[in-house]
């Protein structure tokens, strides 16, 4: 299969998977416990890495903006620029890319391994739908957890940006926060926040699709995991562009 | 006698490779049908196709007189509740304990109280000489134990039909005999079963009829007694071949 047909297969595959999710959501049972567990796995367990990366992103961005603008006597504008770039783009996209690696890869590997060891077949044989038991709890868990993680990431970035502003750029902390909240309008925040629902879908659908597609053996699990991260990352950045364009056309 | 499962002229292939080339047979109410044949002849494939884990390219499968070839996943569920499958490799859910593996189908398809489920599971564990294993995970079990958990999981819901893929391989002679007794006990309850096996002694002891699959077709199907006395060259060679193979293994 060449690259192009692979992409077409992939897009068709996740569309069908999404359709299955919608169809099977209508009928019982719903695995509430597994859903909660997935929120824990996707959300709570990602907090440390999101904390570290967001803090670093906030610090680096503030430093870059501040030091560049200082040359023109404009370092007081760095809170403004920081808040806009974090809320609109960095928070959602950066977090989702990290999660594509942390969550998407793990999910593909787990489902792929279940496929190889015939556990998915066993589910089917016992009369249980893998879509209901495996895919839906993960998908909905992602829809809950990823947006919250993105919010968390934005605030961590701003706080650490402010700290760097205070220590490195001699900007008053109060002034920094004041500027952040003065600049960011609700729609700046929403333009970023809404995207996270799409990104979360991209990550989980891609992860489940590649996991369920594994058929041959452990070698293929590794392969599928790589593909899952690559495809969901590309979907996120491409989707980001398209969603941003749509958003600006609508407002 | 009414046929529970009827397979008519079944063809299955993987990519280019034709595995089953016109298989026909019927599984009668209450009988135990053995399926023997060389490695890679498609025994597992045939068994899997009965519950819709493989999809035939042509031919028909009737379950209780109804055509169940290429149903939708949703429609297969009602059949899979009546037909249990024992996987060649166990296919236990490795994220669940032995207890949870056994309780799985009861929790999924019955509204028994947790207390009743516990009672049934503990009884079943005793039946399969697995007492004390309930809190262990599948990785902590030996191969033979996993096998027994797999069979216990498939039989706990008292299905009408049980499809066994190699139920006695990997067991010591004493456990093998116990397994044979368990299967015979289930037969007495009125279960219908079909069993893939490489083990002629098991087939001859517990099967009512034995079918030989070679070259993608059922070449002979007869009672154990006739099988032993048969002058069919193919059959004789096969039986002898298997016996030699077994001596080889135990040596
Ligand atoms: N998913 C698959 N993709 C490609 N080929 C397959 C697949 N599953 C089975 N086959 C092929 O089909 C043939 C039959 O396999 P099957 O597992 O049914 O054999 P078997 O009779 O059960 O063998 P054994 O006694 O060793 O278990 C094999 O040659 C195998 O290579
Ligand atoms: Mg087999």
Helices (H), chain B: 43-50, 73-80, 98-109, 114-127, 143-155, 173-188, 200-206, 224-229, 233-250
Which residue ranges make up each domain of chain A? 10-21+29-250
Domains of chain B: 1-82+161-170+183-251 (3.40.50.300), 88-158 (no CATH)
Total beta-carbon pairs less than 8 A apart between chain A and chain B: 51
SS3 of B163, please?
Answer: strand
| Section A186-199 average pLDDT | 90
pLDDT over threshold 50, residue B247: no
Of B150, B142, B143, B53, the closest CA to residue B96 belongs to B150
Six token digits for residue B121: 């599971």
- CA dist A119 and A123 (Å) reads 6
Of B52, B81, B91, the CB nearest to A122: B91
- Residue B39 Cα, ligand 2 centroid: separation in angstroms? 7
**According to the model, what pLDDT value does residue A45 have?**
95
A214 pLDDT tier (thresholds 50, 70, 90): very high
Task: Assess whether the C-beta atom of B16 lies below 6 angstroms from ligand 1.
Answer: no
pLDDT tens figures, A224-248: 999 999 999 999 999 999 998 988 8
Percent of chain B predicted with pLDDT > 90? 50
Predicted local confidence at residue A50, as pLDDT: 96
**A211 pLDDT tier (thresholds 50, 70, 90):** very high
**The pair of three-digit structure tokens given for residue B96, joined into one six-digit string:** 């669940």
Q: Which ligand is nearest to the Cα of residue B165, counting in written order?
A: 2
- The predicted pLDDT at position A170 comes to 86
**Confidence band for B243, pLDDT divided at 50, 70 and 90:** very low
Q: Are B10 and B36 in contact (CB under 8 A)?
A: no
- Cβ neighbours of B165 (radius 10 Å): 21
Cβ neighbours for B183, distance < 8 A, ≥ 6 positions apart: B32, B164, B167, B193, B195, B206
User: Are residues B160 and B82 in contact, defined by beta-carbon separation less than 8 angstroms?
Assistant: yes
Q: Do A117 and B77 touch (CB under 8 A)?
A: no
User: Is A28's Cβ below 8 Å from some Cβ in B?
Assistant: no
Contact A219, A249 (CB under 8 A): no
Tell me what the mean pLDDT of segment B158-177 comes to: 89
Q: Check residue B244 and give its pLDDT.
A: 40
Q: Residue B191 half-sphere exposure, CB side, CA atoms within 13 Å?
A: 25
**Residue B248 — very low, low, confident or very high, per pLDDT cuts 50/70/90?**
very low
Determine the distance from the C-alpha atom of residue B188 to the mean position of all C-alpha atoms in its chain, rounded to a whole number.
17
For residues A224 and A217, what is the distance between their CA atoms, to the nearest angstrom? 11
Closest CA to B1 of B25, B26, B28, B32: B28
- Quick check: B250 pLDDT over 90? no
Is the pLDDT at B233 greater than 80? The verdict is no
Average pLDDT of chain B to the nearest whole number: 87
A215 lines ligand 1 (CB under 6 A): yes
Q: Quick one: pLDDT band at residue B1, thresholds 50, 70, 90?
A: low
Q: Is A226 an interface residue toward B (CB < 8 Å)?
A: no
Q: Which of A40-44, A112-116, B229-233 has the lowest mean pLDDT?
A: B229-233
pLDDT computed for residue B246 by the predictor:
42
The pLDDT value given to residue B245: 41
Does residue B168 have a pLDDT over 70? Answer: yes
Neighbours of B109 (CB within 10 A): 16
Location of structure tokens 């961005």: A61
Q: What percent of chain A has pLDDT over 70?
A: 100
Residue A182: pLDDT over 50 = yes
Q: What are phi and psi of B177, to 5 degrees?
A: -65, -40
Give the residue, A76 or B8, on which the prediction is more confident: B8
> Model confidence over B115-127: pLDDT tens digits?
999 999 999 999 8
* Exposure on the CB side of residue B221, measured as CA atoms within 13 A: 15
Instruction: Give the mean model confidence (pLDDT) for residues B25-38.
Output: 91
Give the mutation candidate from B89, B108, B150 for the A interface (greatest A CB count, under 10 A): B108
| pLDDT per position as a tens digit, A133-180 | 999 999 999 999 999 999 999 999 999 999 998 998 888 888 888 888
**Ligand 1 geometric centre to CA of B108 (Å):** 30
* Mean of pLDDT over chain A: 92
| ipTM score for this prediction | 0.88
For residue B156, which residues of chain A lie inside 8 Å, CB to CB?
none
**CB B45 less than 6 A from any atom of ligand 1:** yes
Among A24, A118, A122, A136, which would you mutate to test the B interface (most chain B Cβ atoms within 10 Å of its Cβ)? A122
Each residue's pLDDT tens digit, A3-13: 899 899 999 99
* B67-101 residue pLDDT tens: 888 888 888 988 999 999 999 888 999 999 999 99
């Amino acid at each position: 299969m060449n690259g192009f047909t692979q992409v077409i297969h992939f897009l068709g595959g996740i569309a069908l998977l999404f359709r299955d999710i919608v169809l099977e959501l209508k009928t019982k049972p719903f695995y509430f416990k597994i859903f909660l567990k997935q929120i824990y796995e996707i959300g709570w367990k990602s907090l440390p890495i999101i904390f570290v990366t967001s803090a670093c992103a906030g610090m680096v961005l503030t430093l870059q903006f501040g030091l560049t603008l200082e040359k023109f006597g404009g370092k007081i504008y760095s809170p403004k620029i920081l808040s806009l770039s974090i809320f609109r783009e960095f928070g959602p996209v950066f977090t989702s890319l990290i999660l594509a690696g942390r969550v998407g890869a793990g999910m593909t590997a787990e489902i792929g391994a279940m496929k190889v060891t015939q556990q998915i077949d066993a589910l089917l044989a016992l009369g249980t739908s893998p879509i209901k038991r495996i895919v839906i709890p993960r998908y909905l868990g992602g829809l809950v957890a990823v947006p919250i993680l993105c919010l968390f990431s934005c605030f961590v970035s701003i706080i650490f940006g402010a700290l760097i502003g205070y220590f490195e750029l001699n900007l008053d902390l109060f002034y920094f926060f004041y500027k952040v909240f003065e600049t960011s309008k609700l729609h700046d925040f929403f333009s970023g926040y809404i995207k996270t629902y799409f990104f979360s879908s991209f990550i989980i659908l891609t992860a489940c699709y590649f996991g369920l597609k594994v058929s041959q053996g452990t070698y293929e699990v590794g392969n599928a995991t790589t593909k899952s991260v690559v495809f969901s990352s590309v979907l996120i950045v491409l989707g980001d562009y398209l969603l941003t364009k749509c958003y600006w056309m609508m407002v | 006698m009414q046929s529970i499962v009827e397979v008519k002229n079944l063809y299955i292939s993987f990519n280019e490779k034709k595995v089953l080339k016109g298989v026909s047979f019927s599984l009668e109410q209450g009988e135990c049908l053995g399926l023997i044949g060389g490695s890679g002849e498609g025994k597992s494939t045939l068994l899997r196709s009965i519950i819709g884990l493989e999809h035939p390219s042509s031919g028909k499968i009737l379950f209780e007189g109804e055509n169940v070839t290429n149903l939708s996943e949703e429609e297969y569920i009602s059949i899979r509740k009546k037909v249990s499958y024992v996987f060649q490799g166990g296919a236990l859910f490795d994220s669940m304990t032995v207890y949870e593996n056994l309780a799985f189908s009861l929790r999924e398809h019955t509204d028994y109280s947790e207390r009743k489920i516990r009672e049934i599971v503990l009884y079943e564990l005793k039946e399969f000489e697995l007492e004390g294993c309930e809190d262990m995970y599948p990785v902590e079990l030996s191969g033979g134990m996993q096998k027994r958990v797999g069979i216990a999981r498939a039989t706990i819901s008292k299905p009408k039909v049980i499809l066994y893929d190699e139920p006695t391989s990997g067991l010591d002679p004493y456990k093998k005999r116990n397994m044979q007794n368990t299967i015979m006990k289930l037969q007495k309850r009125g279960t219908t079963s079909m069993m893939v096996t490489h083990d002629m002694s098991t087939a001859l002891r517990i099967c009512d009829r034995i079918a030989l699959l070679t070259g993608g077709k059922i070449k002979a199907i007869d009672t154990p007694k006739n099988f032993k006395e048969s002058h069919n060259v193919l059959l004789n060679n096969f039986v002898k071949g298997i016996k030699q193979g077994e001596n080889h293994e135990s040596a």
